[in-house]
A and B are shown apart, each in its own frame.
Chain A
Amino acid sequence: MEIVYVYVKKRSEFGKQCNFSDRQAELNIDIQPSPELAELFVERNPVDTGTQCSASMSEHEAISFWFEMETRGVNHVEGGWPKDVNPLELEQTIRFRKKVEKDENYINAVMQLGSIMEHCIKQNNAIDIYEQYFNDTEAVEVTEEAPSAKTINVFRDPQEVKRTATHLSWHPDDHRKLAIAYSCLDFQRAPMGMSNDSYIWDLENPNKPEIALRSSSPLITLEYNPKDSHVLLGGCYNGQIACWDTRKGSLVAELSTVEFSHRDPVYGTIWLQSKTGTECFSASTDGQVMWWDIRKISEPTEVVVMDITRKEQLENALGAISLEFEPTLPTKFMVGTEQGIVISCNRKAKTAAEKIVCTFSGHHGPIYALQRNPFYPKNFLTVGDWTARVWSEDSRESSIMWTKYHMAYLTDGAWSPTRPAVFFTTKMDGTLDIWDIVFKQCDPALSLKVCDEALFCLRVQDNGSLIACGSQLGTTTLLEVSSGLSTLQRNEKNSASAMFERETRREKILEARHREMRLKEKGRAEGKDDDQRYEEPAVDLQELVAKAEEEFFDVIFSELRKKEVDAVKKSKLKQKQAVDTDQEPEEEDTGQEEGEEETPA
């Protein structure tokens, strides 16, 4: 369709300049839609159109201007010469120079500058002030940060009936696996329907345990074999020893016979260093320590009775609650008993009586944890009743260092494998204490409340920074300690060993003094007659009693008197105040009261 618009211009007006003017829009052509054309089309309903549900992006081209850069040197040509001097002519330049040199200003300036320059040159000649100092000490930043620990993960017991997590063991090679033994330690109060399983957890998956270890009786302790990481050893509540192989599944691979096992729950099981990697030993509160070879687990290879009177009487035996074995000292092992005594034993002794070497007593209650310091095996840590104590093998009478008595019972403790002066303890109120004895000895360096229920066991991973602690409701918390507490500090080994030695010496001196005093007492007592010895104590006793009574009553009366005087003072004060406000002479009254009160006293 052709749209034609015609406009008219006079010939005489051709070539004139254009005068533009503004006017309203004019409608030139209006083409109405014709309905006949609609007949030619077919209506489509529905219509299929494609759309794209994605971010609409547009492409745009832009030309950035090229900016070329070139590195060029600058050719310095002598400029600055005054107009009358031609820089190319040598004579003129020389003449100019000489003229300048004769200038007084110039001479002074040069002299001055020369002296400054000389100083710096001499400095340079003397020492190289720009050399690299402190080349040796690389950036060893002393971690001034406060010690801290944060929770990384929490593993909850998937069972409904909650059991206590009684023992933890880290996988020896793969530090992402943790074996936890669950059981109920209340005497015969295990709730109905409590499962007997214990679990192996993978740290990456805290929702579900990786492997479940089924047993007929709940496991109290569980240990990975350090030589063969597929084998685990467990001590059961009913006294049996069980062995699992994770390659074979979750059922028990080996189980000791009930007749030859312990009679009480097995509280400690440790693998021994042996060529075969199959030997282990266990301890229980029935007073026996048994050695086993898991290839023939039906009966123990050796049994030692923890009888400190060395008579091998089971009735006198002390129940063992913790066991300690250091692979570097393969013939010695230590047992912590329910009665608070640590028994140090020698495995290679000929007679059974000689197996028990010495005892250390000092705790008031069962010793729940016993561990040698990984750096200084002569010193060991015991945790029991309300304190944690550090002992030295040389000092047998008492521990060399001890913590104060806490409010809550201590349940487990362990040394840090990377720092000789750091150890961890858990308490029944759910707190984890980290002690650093080169930093502070009277309080823990860090005390964390991990959970509301009691914490029962603790295990530090070999790298020293991850700690797992198990609680009464089966919740195991994984914590990471700050690097200040897990990396070896400078001089720490020296200061820790110096501290241990110093404390040991102190105890030895005290022991020696005690012994001397006892000898003196004995000497004095033996020097008198027997009769006199009998009478004197009696007389002395009566005198002592009388004296004690006197002193007692004196103290009581003086206290009473003090109280009365205080009361008088108080009432005087009150009355004085009343006097000031009322302005009535009540002095007579107070005088009277004073007199009254003094007479009975």
Chain B
Amino acid sequence: MMALSNVLEAPAAGFNFENSSRNAALQAGLEGQTPRPMKTGTTIAGVVFKDGVVLGADTRATSSEVVADKMCSKIHYMAPNIYCCGAGTAADTEKTTDLVASNLTIFSLNSGRKPRVVMAVNILQDLLYRYRGQIGASLILGGVDCTGSHLYTVGPYGSVDKKPYLAMGSGNLAAMGIMEDGFRPDLELDQAKQLVRSAIQAGILNDLGSGHNIDLCVITDRGVDYIRPYQESQYKDHRTNKYRFRQGTTPVLTDTVVPLELEVVEEKVQQMETS
């Protein structure tokens, strides 16, 4: 999987299922109690406004019914002018976006240009299609480049859609309702931020897989404003105690020292050249 600058090396044909037999053996050994992957059952949304793109995401990562991470970061960096929200399996979205970010950096260094959003989309589509849906990543890419502001979604099977407003993840039905109602072409920055905030809020309130804070990322041609968190959860818990223990809290009952007897097997002396 190479950046466009390394066009000469085409990716190896076919799928890489090296681990499939190992996984099958593990599953047989564990008898169905395999650890569930951490999913970002999620609400992510994006909207194109007058001067750029606003991306938003919640911050809950779940492992089945347990919240694995309350402050998970779902808006990933791809390039100085391109950011990507990821829904689906947390590891997949993280690694896929990292891979593309590296490729875009190589491209930038090679060509001296800022990468375009459509480049990232093409690389992602290629990768996800090649793996036939085995990589569980639903992504919303947004960015501003020399051709304008763009917002794309890439599905886990490799299908791409380009739209002015999008929502993905388990909470996307709730978020899409807000988006459909509130979207207008050429929104102002504050309106766009409010729209995305409301959409994510709808997802948080109505979807069990989404929750906690709302992160926003505003991308314009002047730069990026990564607001984390934009809105904090109302249900924050406050620790009532300090859980630090001073030295000596646990009393030492006995102290045993066992010297390790070492035998000199080989001795080598090497002169250091200091000239």
Genuine A/B complex: no
* Interface of B toward A, CB cutoff 8 Å: none
* Interface of A toward B, CB cutoff 8 Å: none
